[in-house]
Amino acid sequence: MDVIRRLEELQLIVVTGKGGVGKSVVTAALGRLLATRGRKVLLLEVDPRENLHQLLNTPPSGGDIVKASPGLFLQHIEPRELIDDLVRERLKVKLLVNRVLASPVHRHFTEGAPGLKETAVFGRALRLVEGHGPPALRRPDAVILDAPATGHGVSWMAAPQLVADVVRSGPIGHMAGLISAFLGDRRRVGVVVVTTAEEMPVEESRELIGALRERLDRQPEAVIANALYPPFDDDVASDDETTALWRDRRAINVAQLERLDEVWAGPRAEVPLLPIDPGPALVGAVSRTLADQLRSA
Ligand SMILES: Nc1ncnc2c1ncn2[C@@H]1O[C@H](COP(=O)(O)OP(=O)(O)OP(=O)(O)O)[C@@H](O)[C@H]1O
Ligand SMILES: [Mg+2]
């Protein structure tokens, strides 16, 4: 199966995984890969630390859509601003808008309501791919979401249905229902799981893959095993510390890849730990590796 073809058909790719495993790098690399194949791609970043722009060497988005290279754009969004935007859209009277936005009830509700922020983020992605984007990017072919590590990827994906179940009527309930249907459509939305081949990330990825199956009846388009130590040749003497470290880390990688195999027989890409600082060169190298690996996955 050509996974790249499959990824090219999707309107939304959710990149998820444990903190620090390389989600942002993989998001940028996938974006670059699809953009070089002619797709118009928007990378959506929710993490308040905002770092995609560093990886792609653009100015920080600060909420705007920024062009990184032909066909590749990025945007940093604050979920709560999306919710405020909704209020502005619904309530056209300025005085009323200001009152609602400033009211403790609104703040309390939007901060506390489970799943609302996630729903707003997916709602933004849906609006964009349906052609309601700003003039800077009216209709991207695909959105890639660099999902935050906080909260499982599955709870993100399940959030709109949760909101739709709780808020059954009115504009929010209706919207959540539409977004949930979008997320459930496997022809339009896919998930990419990123992990390193270490004990804790693999443990979490195994749970994630299981939860995707059980709760959402879906499987990842691909699992990316990132930052792997290079294969170690046992004939090499490993009496110095650096070589011993390489041997030991690689042995852990091999053992953990096997644990991943136990739960995942689908497409997998292996990306080496590259001696490159975060930035476009790293993104380019990871993108080329993904192109190679996913074609034959
Ligand atoms: N294959 C790789 N080779 C070398 N360095 C890498 C590789 N993948 C990621 N890195 C580096 O590892 C660090 C973590 O990567 P990244 O920021 O993409 O992880 P993340 O999963 O997005 O983290 P967070 O959960 O904190 O958002 C970064 O400094 C990044 O440059
Ligand atoms: Mg990140």
Q: What is the structure's pLDDT at 230?
A: 95
Tell how far the Cα of 215 is from the centroid of ligand 1, in angstroms: 28
How far is residue 163's CA from residue 155's CA, in Å, rounded to a whole number?
A: 12
Mutation pick for ligand 1 pocket among 24, 249, 274 (CB with most ligand atoms within 8 Å): 24
Tell me the two tokens of residue 98: 């200001």
* Ligand 1 atom closest to the CA of 226, numbered from 1: 1
* pLDDT-derived band at 150, boundaries 50, 70, 90: low
How far is residue 65's CA from residue 125's CA, in Å, rounded to a whole number?
A: 13
In this predicted model, what pLDDT tens digit does every residue of 155-165 receive, in sequence order? 899 999 999 99
For the residues 112-122, what does the mean pLDDT come to? 86
Residue 6: pLDDT over 70:
yes
For the residues 49-60, what does the mean pLDDT come to? 95
CATH architecture of 3-295: 3-Layer(aba) Sandwich (3.40)
**Mean pLDDT over all residues of the chain?**
92
Q: What residue segments make up the domains of the chain, in order of their start?
A: 3-295
Give the Cα-Cα-Cα angle 251, 284, 76 (nearest 5 degrees). 105
* pLDDT-derived band at 151, boundaries 50, 70, 90: low
State the sign of the Cα–Cα–Cα–Cα dihedral 204, 210, 215, 217: positive
* pLDDT-derived band at 4, boundaries 50, 70, 90: very high
In this predicted model, what pLDDT tens digit does every residue of 188-245 receive, in sequence order? 999 999 999 999 999 999 999 999 999 999 999 999 999 999 999 888 777 889 999 9
Q: State if residue 25 touches ligand 1 by the CB under 6 angstroms criterion.
A: yes
Name the residue type at position 187: R
